[in-house]
Amino acid sequence: MKVLISHITMKKKMFSLTAKGAALDIPEIDGEISAILEIYKMGEKYYASGTVTANARFQCDLCLDEFTQEISEPIAVYISYDSDESTDDFIPLAHNDVEIDFSAYIRETLLLAYPYTKKCRSDCKGLDAITGLNLNRASAPAKEERADPRWEKLKLIRSQINL
């Protein structure tokens, strides 16, 4: 995911970069990573901002099924020859570089954007504690089918807080 430095001007320009997840060594992404960036230069520095998007495959924490989730993360980074920068949103440049390589920065951004808890859907029922069956697919135990209607309210609350 590279941009030729000679293509960057003081006037903001849009750049569309793509790469396969495998090329960036991200096992959760087998499709394409796309970054739409607006880049310009000011003095010796280059500024890039935009969005990076990809579909990642995760395993659900609750039911262990695989699911796909879109990750879309804003990016704002600057690129400079100065090596003594203290911010993370910075890509160092060597004086003989002819292009800016965003790959490592985009990889980091995507990995940090992964959801903290991975759930295939907000109301995932998880696995049955006794049988290990996936409760999203398996029908509920017969006992629960005949549950007292007065428990319906409680069931509703439980599903809302995702137990």
111 φ/ψ angles, rounded to the nearest 5 degrees: -65, -40
> What's the length of the chain?
163
- Residue 62 within binding range of Zn ion, rule CB under 5 A: yes
Cβ of residue 12: shortest distance to Zn ion, in angstroms? 42
- Residue 127 within binding range of Zn ion, rule CB under 5 A: no
Size of the site for Zn ion (CB under 5 A): 5
Cβ of residue 123: shortest distance to Zn ion, in angstroms? 9
CA neighbor of 38 nearest in space, from 51, 55, 19: 51
Residue 91's CB is within 10 A of a number of other CB atoms, namely 17
Q: Which of residues 90-119 bind Zn ion (CB under 5 A)?
A: none
- Residue 124 within binding range of Zn ion, rule CB under 5 A: yes
Which residue of 63, 71, 106, 110 would you call a contact of Zn ion, by CB under 5 A? 63
Residue nearer to Zn ion on the CB measure, 47 or 67: 67
Distance from C-alpha of 140 to C-alpha of 145, rounded to nearest angstrom: 7
- Residue 79 within binding range of Zn ion, rule CB under 5 A: no
- Residue 37 within binding range of Zn ion, rule CB under 5 A: no
CA neighbor of 49 nearest in space, from 76, 30, 71, 27: 76
Cβ of residue 158: shortest distance to Zn ion, in angstroms? 16
Cβ of residue 147: shortest distance to Zn ion, in angstroms? 23
Q: Residues near 66 by Cβ (< 8 Å), separated by ≥ 6?
A: 57, 58, 59, 60, 120
Residue nearer to Zn ion on the CB measure, 33 or 127: 127
What is the residue type of 121?
R
Residue nearer to Zn ion on the CB measure, 65 or 73: 65
